[in-house]
Amino acid sequence: MPKRPDNRIPHTTPRGHHDAPESLGAVSESLLLPSDIRDDLIAHALQEFPNEACGLIAFEGDLPVRLTRGTNVLASPTRYRMDDAEVVAAIEEMDRRGWWLGAIYHSHPSSAAVPSDTDLAEANWPGALMMIVSLAGDEPEL
């Protein structure tokens, strides 16, 4: 298995979702991602290679608590769209548990872990972080 990246993930995402805790502030410099969630995210990206993987990460307060793997219905190496029914089921589960959608993740099989213009244009869940795992280098990069 490839060497794991540090589990402190840099991000600068404005908060705005009504369920997002205020403790995360307007902009945060990093997120401490639990190793089991980080490992599952990377494993999912590797499993879906050469296509993009995608999924959701639930938060309880300001802590990531569960990764939900999604099906990329586009089955594409350059685009993703999670199955609508999976999104609805995951959000309903989060609501039942008092969690909120803290992050949407996807992989870049052959490019850097930087949002593309398409990623930015299609980001439509206010307050959710965008997490990207790149498989373009020798080691996965979040």
Query: Mean pLDDT in runs of 10 for the chain (142 residues)?
Result: 41 39 46 94 98 98 96 97 97 97 97 95 90 96 94
Give the pLDDT of residue 54.
98
pTM for the full model? 0.81
Give the pLDDT of residue 29.
55
Give the pLDDT of residue 124.
86
Range 47-50, long-range pairs (CB < 8 A, 24+ positions): 48/72, 48/107, 49/107, 49/109, 49/135, 50/77, 50/109, 50/110
Give the pLDDT of residue 16.
37
Separation of alpha carbons 32 and 96, rounded Å: 24
